């Protein structure tokens, strides 16, 4: 099951990150992101009523993985799983969170930055490693990690958008995590969900063009 879900995350090569999105808006944002071609959504648990948003989106959107991000402890990981999260994402290497994910068959993308951290995360049970913050080192940093650690799926996150998503895929990433470049809070405030869908489509197309 974990491998199947990871494959679905990499289908579009994009995880759209919903951070600080109110539950009242979460459904419409999810619809827009899916319309743009994204197959994986991440609701960060530091968002208002995050568990309710995860449950709402899980019930609303079909054929798309809904996950929980910014998971810092095992208790939050379990709460997210019970709310319907189909994958977990962390900003750091936390073995308790990894064990909780593994215990219940939930794919986990673990945050790391250095080669040592990346290897530690993968050997500790991560299904993929979130290179974070990606913007600090850029695509060259991802390529440098992937050279000696090519067996580890890398998902750079932080400062990724349509303008550089392709470069990260070219550097060896299996997917990218994208937040504000897709989930534009100004667009949400204006009920301009078409802009959110267009943002998502732009990133998906950048990834697809590079793969082709």
Catalytically annotated residue among 42, 55, 86, 117: 42
Q: Known catalytic residue: 135?
A: no
85 backbone φψ class: left, alpha, beta (φ>0; ψ -120 to 50): beta
User: Counting Cβ atoms within 10 Å, is residue 140 exposed (0-12), middle (13-18) or buried (19+)?
Assistant: exposed
| 130 is annotated as an active-site residue | yes
Nearest CA among 149, 146, 120 for reference residue 134: 146
Is residue 90 a contact partner of residue 109, using CB atoms and an 8 Å limit? Answer: yes
Instruction: Check residue 152 and report its DSSP letter.
Output: S
Q: Label each residue of 52-103 as H, E or C.
A: HHHHHHHHHCCCCEEEEECCCCHHHHHHHHHHCCCCEECCCCCHHHHHHHHH
| Catalytic, out of 55, 86, 117, 130 | 130
CA distances from 179 to 17, 21, 54, 71, 158 (A): 5, 11, 16, 16, 8
- At which residue do the structure tokens 């199947």 appear? 4
**Active-site residue set:** 42, 130
């Amino acid at each position: 099951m974990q491998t199947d879900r990871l494959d679905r995350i990499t289908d579009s090569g994009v995880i759209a990150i919903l951070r600080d999105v109110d539950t009242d808006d979460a459904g419409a944002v999810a619809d827009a992101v899916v319309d743009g071609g994204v197959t994986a959504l991440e609701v960060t648990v530091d968002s208002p009523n995050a568990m309710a948003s995860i449950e709402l989106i899980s019930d609303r959107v079909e054929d798309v993985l809904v996950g929980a991000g910014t998971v810092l402890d095992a208790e939050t990981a379990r709460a997210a799983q019970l709310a319907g999260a189909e994958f977990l994402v962390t900003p750091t290497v936390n073995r308790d969170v990894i064990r909780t994910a593994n215990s219940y068959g939930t794919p986990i993308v673990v945050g790391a930055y250095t080669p040592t951290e990346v290897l530690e995360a993968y050997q500790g049970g991560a299904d993929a490693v979130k290179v974070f913050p990606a913007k600090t080192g850029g695509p060259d940093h991802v390529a440098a990690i992937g050279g000696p650690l090519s067996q580890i799926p890398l998902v750079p996150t932080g400062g990724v958008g349509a303008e550089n998503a392709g470069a990260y895929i070219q550097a060896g990433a299996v997917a990218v995590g994208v937040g504000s470049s897709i989930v534009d809070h100004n667009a949400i405030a204006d009920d301009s969900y078409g802009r959110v869908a267009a943002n998502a489509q732009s990133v998906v197309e950048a990834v697809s063009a590079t793969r082709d």
